[in-house]
Structure 1
Amino acid sequence: MSAQWEKQEGNQGILTIQVDAEEFDRALDQAFKKVVKDVQIPGFRKGKVPRKIFENRFGVESLYQDAVDIVLPDAYSKAVQETGIEPIEQPDVDIEEIEKGKDLIFKATVNVKPEVDLGDYKGLEVEEQSVEVTNEDVDQELENLREQHAELVVKESGTVEEGDTIVLDFEGFINGEAFEGGKAEDHSLEIGSGQFIPGFEEKLIGMSAGEEAEIEITFPEDYHAEHLSGQQAVFEVTIHDIKTKEMPEWDDEFAKDADEEVETLQELKEKKKDELQKQQEQDAENQKRETLIEKASENAEVTIPDAMVESELDRMLQEFEQQLQMQGMTLDMYYQFSGQDKDALKDQMRQDAEKRVKTNLTLEAIYYAENLEVTDEDVDHELSNMASMYGVDVDQLKQMLGGNTDALKEELKTRKSIEFLEEHSTAVESESA
């Protein structure tokens, strides 16, 4: 077998593949063995028709398609490997020459990964981020902990206030007719959480337990469900219970309840300050990396094929579906709730998908331009770290990965490129400093 790659305009080219006559004849033999099982000719038992009789009756050409189906996938895969191209979608294949006893020649029109014209990526300027944890930051962190450890207790008297959690029934109507998704019973709602459309929660303030009311609301013009955007609605609501937060006191007992590793409130403060310091340092490092990646990507020029964008959109949809599942939802439930369908959701994600593709292509181009390398030692080290993180041994982790570390290698290539950008960047003082 031999292969020849001819680059054309854009990211398209022609891959000409020539399969040896002997290999094609073997494929014809396999095709005959497959087809003859279902052939019945008078005078012969089903599946026992001799090859010569078959070809005289039906012609050897009747085996060509099955033979091509047998030989083409392996031949194409070998040709891709031999020429070093990187296809991004299935090719369009045309048979050029096909005849028993002769070489099979076919041409595949292939869309390949586009070439990136790298702009400036060395010496990119990035602002130094100041990292300083204040007493106010620590107090806010402790206040968040108090919120988490607060108990909800039913108000015996009084009305709904900001921060209260209420249990209510509601049903929404537009022009006197109930609309889908606008009804719930015994729904818990924290006033001020922004869970409902603007104005709804505010109008519940001042109501009492057991009270019924009608609330008039106008859906925002940019509401995610188009059939509701800009519509005036009336919600019939019934308040069942009003619950308020009972916050723990600022003392050592609260500290021990919040964190079993500390004994006093002062120890908790010191621990939270240390954690916040590390988090801010990590956030600053992440921000630096994101800035460098974004600048390098903006400076690069590349024509992004639709096929790569569509593949990225599929990945993003899978990620989004996994996030929904963690919240106990499905994509179908989300479509029903949001009023969107799959195409609308993909359109919403398209810009981010294009950005992701360009970023990945840019980082890959930097990796090869700088002759960076991911070694076996790098892979083994990462596997060891991952195994420790997941609490399994390396062999178990490899089994979890299906014995294939290619995806891990690609991730490490990306990491190498980002590290290169960092090492060759220039730190400048923040303008706000």
Structure 2
Amino acid sequence: MASVNPPENPNDSSPRSASPALLDRWFLLTEHGTTPGRELIAGVTTFLTMAYIIFVNPNVLSAAGMDHGSVFVATCLAAAIGSLIMGVYANYPIALAPGMGLNAFFSFTVVGEMGYSWQVALGAVFLSGVMFLLLSIFRVREWIINSIPLSLRMALSAGVGLFLGIIALKTAGIVVDSPATLVTLGDLTAPEPLLAGLCFIVITVLTFRRVTGAVMIGILFVTLIGLAGGLVRYQGLVSAPPSLAPTVLQLDIAGAFDVAMISVIFSFLFVDLFDTAGTLIGVAHRGNLLDSKGQLPRLGRALMADSSASICGSLLGSSTTTSYVESAAGVEAGGRTGLTAVVVALLFLAGMFFAPLAAMVPAYATAGALFFVAVMMTSGLGRIDWHDLTEAAPAVVAAVMMPLSFSIANGIALGFITYTAIKLGCGHYRDISASVYVLAALFILKFAVL
């Protein structure tokens, strides 16, 4: 096949001409109809839409007892490493960072409800990443994704959104516990619930108006209001990155082999697997990167990049690292190659020097952002066939049980068990794949033994 690169001048060996040529050869810029400048703009756009994770993730994981500063650095490094691998190895304009939902599951369920240490939880993240990597290497990921019913996949995404929603409302003080009704409305005259609600409204309005970086703008806007009102103490903007020592290589892999952790590891794996697959296909479709059969070229490389990022993140001290749907913003800005992801990686590395700013962001500001993410994730409910009760009923069980049992793992397990039981009871045997039978049996065993 003839080269798609323009002919080079052999007498011109200056770095100024060699550098664009090298970028063109590695990332196939000409073949994808893009330029280094366009990829740079796309990378900045993607970073601005997902930079909120720098502020949110340390707040969420510090609730598990992890060091805020160390998690901040781990978040930046995990995002940088994951995005770099995706860009250089898979050549896709898709950025990665610690995933929303799974970080809440990590802190509030695995550590808070189940009582495991955050070191064991990191061990579970590591094992799920290794399993994801093996599934990618041996090419069984497509079989798993395709054999899980669409209704359960959509319910999983929506359930994680509802789980984030209840956590956001609880963190903001909008919903509080009640001995009579379990939960009730909090004091809406207090500044924290009001500012959390304001943050959510600002983010929603800016997103509707297609303002780049809407989530980050909302968080910083409310933080400034808190600063002016004396609710936030100014700590500076820029400094040397905090020490990574409190979390790096602190994972407890042996402790994660506990029988009760099986469902946790599967939860980390499934949410990451389905979320990554959906993000890759969705972003690639918007960027016209799918082949003539509607499939994603180099899917194996993209999934291996994602799983490798989770492994690296757990070693550094962060929850599961995954592909971000916000990458679509960069694609809309013209990003078509991995150079976009490389730009995002470099910006996350630069973000490590803004630790004082991250430390100032209050919980009620990130709560508003969390609730906005919850709204976006629950959109998956619209793809469920509500006219077929054998599909709709298990989906509702899976989605509703995640926030009500305060566990993504319980929602997944009850969803699979209910799906299998209802399909069998209605005689729809052919709708149940072998993998669903196996998973339902494992989840029943998990509840019976534990």
TM class by smaller structure:
under 0.3
Q: Which has the higher helix share?
A: 2
Q: Which has the higher strand share?
A: 1
Q: Which structure's CA Rg is the greater one?
A: 1
Q: Return the structure number with greater relative CO, CA threshold 8 A, min gap 6.
A: 2
After TM superposition, the score normalised by the length of structure 2 is: 0.19
